[in-house]
Chain A
Amino acid sequence: MIEMFQPDFMQRAFLAAVLVGITAPSVGIYLVQRRQALMGDGIGHVALTGVGLGFLFQTDPIWMAVLVCVVGAIVMELVRARGNQRGDIALAMLFYGGMAGGKLLVSMSSQAGSSSLESYLWGSILTVSPGDLALIGGLAAIVIAVTVGLRRQLFAVCQDEEFARVTGLPVRVLNLLLAVMAAVTVTVAMRVVGLLLVSALMVVPVAAAQQLTRSFAATQAAAIGVGVVTALLGVGTSYQADLPSGPTIVFLAILAFALFSAIAAPLAKRRHRSAAEHGPAVCDVALPHQGPDAATGPDAPGGPAATGAPLSGETLSSRGLAQ
């Protein structure tokens, strides 16, 4: 088990996996909140053109992909902000144009090799070079600083854009910033899970985490946790079982989603039972001769310890029932 941490390329692979496990969900949560879960997928398609340009001009494909993705994401954001009816058509053009352009450019370039394109489509974490890792690390640091540091601001913009504008926030700048962060994340994750599965790491950990959470902050933290754990486990598993890393990571994330969904319902029931603020599960329209012991109910074991103000909670919840 220990020997898989020995080779340099494995250490780099694990580091890259951790970086992607943090960045992808921390950006993805805002896209999911805005019901743009598939935007990452669109950027991934556009990134392919960047990779193709990198091949054609024999420069670093990651840098080219960053450039093209940023342009593509800004165009998508402008289309979204204008909110016109044909927005989805415009996005479709961008997605498929990006995909087709990438393949065409790669086939035109001299170092054409379908295998090298394949490594961007599906990821090849074991071939991450020290230079790649430094670039991935730098980009990831920026993404984390923005998405975690500006959580309240970005949350407000994604939750209710009109209200955010009335608070005086620079809404347009923040929207563009988020689009650029999504683009950067796609290129960061490109080497680890591949362009075709980038979006999965932005969306699936968030979807898994929100099965168990009630607040946005907790969802973001839990999604990052799911992302890191599945990325690490995925890289380890793919080394042990000789499987491609990207699909392994994504499959593990989907397993986490299934597991969390399965335990969500019993957990929520337990939380309701321990929280006295919701009142008893059955009606508390007590008949005159019934005392207050009927109102607390037989199935509230941790009642008084769980909440700070059970009294005011009870009056308000009974008011809520009356409404």
Chain B
Amino acid sequence: MSAVISTADSDRLQPSSGEDAGPAVVSLRGAVATVGGRPVLRGVDLTVRPGEVVALLGANGSGKSTTVKTVIGSVPLAQGSLELFGRPRRKFRAWHRVGYVPQRTTAAGGVPATVREVVSTGRLPQHGLLPFRRTDRDAVDRALTSVGMLDRAGDGVANLSGGQHQRVLIARALVGRPDLLIMDEPMAGVDVDSQQVLADILRTEVERGCAVLLVLHELGPLEPLIDRAVVLRDGCVAHDGPPPRSVGQHALPGHDHVHPHADDHHHRTTPGLLT
């Protein structure tokens, strides 16, 4: 783990191993997309190589979530091209290789559902329209164990706390052992303890060789895992390179100063704040 994620030149380390492992997991070129007639992406390039952890950063409305939604196909591309695992999006069928964790919403369905039932839907790429089998059930148990929610499997999802709900959504994405994990603001509305739990879960997946594309508002406890940061501003890529560690995300172009936690004490030491 340390060789891959903790050294400063980790993103230099990736390309050689990445080309050996095959084509880029995500390759978005010149993406232009509109939402409700308003242009949100104006030519975004984004590459995620195998085993790489890429964070999408930027202010609210900069197009982070829309970028992710174009990758999973729920927002259509007006221009540009998208390849997943080296195949054009239109011809891509290997959905079992992709795990998606949407932005957590508090809106529950109108009918109760258990944790196990929700996580089981993550197994659909494997069994498709065929019946759910023993191996599928075992996979669900494994995913629930990995997020520490197996003992809550029979509980209703409506009664979970924010952090627990987020763990269920992650388990649902992990159930098929994906090669690419796409997460939209996984830390939003999750307290610091649960954030650490989520970071540990993610570390295990990264060690397994899973590539991760994350939308983040701040790096937080995930910082040591991230190989590369892509910063968006007004639908354009403003920065693509190593995550801004020493200076903190305050220095990023387009970052707005919203801090749910007061744990960024090291920023206080910057001259700008002291004067």
Binding site for B on A (CB under 8 A): 29, 32-35, 37, 150, 152-153, 155-156, 158-160, 162-169, 206, 210, 213-217, 219, 277, 309, 312-313, 316, 320, 322-323
Candidates A216, A313, A323; contact of B117 at CB < 8 Å: A216
Binding site for A on B (CB under 8 A): 69, 72-74, 93, 95-96, 98, 100, 102, 109-114, 116-118, 120-122, 124-125, 128-129, 132, 148, 151-152, 154-156, 161, 163-164, 172, 182, 191, 193-194
Hey, which chain A residues are within 8 Å of B194, CB to CB? Answer: 323
Q: Are B191 and A215 in contact (CB under 8 A)?
A: no
Q: Are B117 and A217 in contact (CB under 8 A)?
A: yes
Q: Are A167 and B193 in contact (CB under 8 A)?
A: no
Q: Are A316 and B148 in contact (CB under 8 A)?
A: yes
Q: What is the bound-complex CA distance between A167 and B126, given in angstroms? A: 9
Q: What is the bound-complex CA distance between A150 and B122, given in angstroms? A: 15
Q: How far, in Å, is B264 (CB) from chain A's closest CB? A: 21
User: Can you name the residue of chain B whose Cβ is closest to the Cβ of A317?
Assistant: B151
User: Can you name the residue of chain A whose Cβ is closest to the Cβ of B182?
Assistant: A166
Q: Do A323 and B193 contact each other (CB < 8 Å), given the known contacts A164-B121, A214-B114?
A: yes
Candidates B124, B148, B163; contact of A323 at CB < 8 Å: B163
Q: What is the bound-complex CA distance between A313 and B153, given in angstroms? A: 11
Q: Are B132 and A155 in contact (CB under 8 A)?
A: no
Q: Are B124 and A219 in contact (CB under 8 A)?
A: no
Candidates B125, B132, B163; contact of A152 at CB < 8 Å: B132
Hey, which chain B residues are within 8 Å of A37, CB to CB? Answer: 110
Candidates B111, B155, B163; contact of A219 at CB < 8 Å: B111
Q: How far, in Å, is A221 (CB) from chain B's closest CB? A: 12
Q: Are B193 and A214 in contact (CB under 8 A)?
A: no
Give the top 7 A-B pairs by smallest Cβ distance, nearest first. A168-B95, A156-B121, A167-B124, A166-B100, A33-B111, A215-B114, A313-B151
Hey, which chain A residues are within 8 Å of B96, CB to CB? Answer: 168
User: Can you name the residue of chain B whose Cβ is closest to the Cβ of A166?
Assistant: B100
Q: Do A169 and B124 contact each other (CB < 8 Å), given the known contacts A33-B109, A159-B113?
A: yes
Q: What is the bound-complex CA distance between A150 and B121, given in angstroms? A: 12
Candidates A153, A162, A312; contact of B102 at CB < 8 Å: A162
Q: How far, in Å, is A188 (CB) from chain B's closest CB? A: 22
User: Can you name the residue of chain A whose Cβ is closest to the Cβ of B122?
Assistant: A167
Q: Are B111 and A29 in contact (CB under 8 A)?
A: yes
Hey, which chain B residues are within 8 Å of A160, CB to CB? Answer: 102, 121
Q: How far, in Å, is B63 (CB) from chain A's closest CB? A: 17
Q: Do A167 and B109 contact each other (CB < 8 Å), given the known contacts A159-B118, A323-B163, A323-B193?
A: no
Q: Do A213 and B112 contact each other (CB < 8 Å), given the known contacts A150-B129, A159-B118, A166-B98?
A: yes
Hey, which chain B residues are within 8 Å of A206, CB to CB? Answer: 111
Hey, which chain A residues are within 8 Å of B148, CB to CB? Answer: 316
Hey, which chain A residues are within 8 Å of B151, CB to CB? Answer: 277, 309, 312-313, 316
Q: What is the bound-complex CA distance between A159 and B182, given in angstroms? A: 19
Candidates A168, A215, A309; contact of B125 at CB < 8 Å: A168
Q: Are B114 and A152 in contact (CB under 8 A)?
A: no
Q: What is the bound-complex CA distance between A217 and B113, given in angstroms? A: 8
Q: A32-B111, A153-B124, A156-B121 are in contact. List 9 more A-B contacts (CB 8 A).
A: A29-B111, A159-B118, A163-B122, A163-B172, A165-B73, A213-B112, A216-B114, A219-B112, A316-B151
